[in-house]
Amino acid sequence: MQMGRVIGSVWATRKEEGLNGLKLLIIQPIDSNQQPIRTEIVAADRIGAGIGDDVLITSGGSSRYIMKDNPLPIDAVVIGIIDSTDVMRGEDNE
């Protein structure tokens, strides 16, 4: 899993049939300091995240199985909306 921030949406009127009904979001992966860590990705969303939300995403093989009996052709999926984070830092990092 990794953290990211929703920065946009993707609209596709024609797509793979299994993707119908899924919202596609543009996610900026972030680190624990909420700083961008790499280029944006597109992730499927079924939980209702929106622009500006910090989210948990998973990618790779596990993301294909958001529908139990029907693997989907997706690389990343939003699996949670982050309410807050709490990161302990050493004295050198404060």
Tens of pLDDT, residues 23-38 = 999 999 999 888 999 9
In a domain? residue 1: yes
In a domain? residue 10: yes
CATH number, domain of 55, equals 2.40.50.220
Tens of pLDDT, residues 15-71 = 888 788 889 999 999 998 889 999 999 999 989 999 999 999 998 766 666 666 667
In a domain? residue 9: yes
Per the structure, the count of domains in the chain is 1
* Counts of helices then strands in the chain (DSSP H, E): 0, 5
DSSP β-ladder status, 54-59 and 2-10: antiparallel
Q: CB under 8 Å, gap of 24 or more: what pairs does 8-15 form?
A: 8/51, 9/51, 10/42
User: Collapsing DSSP states into helix, strand and coil, what is residue 64?
Assistant: helix
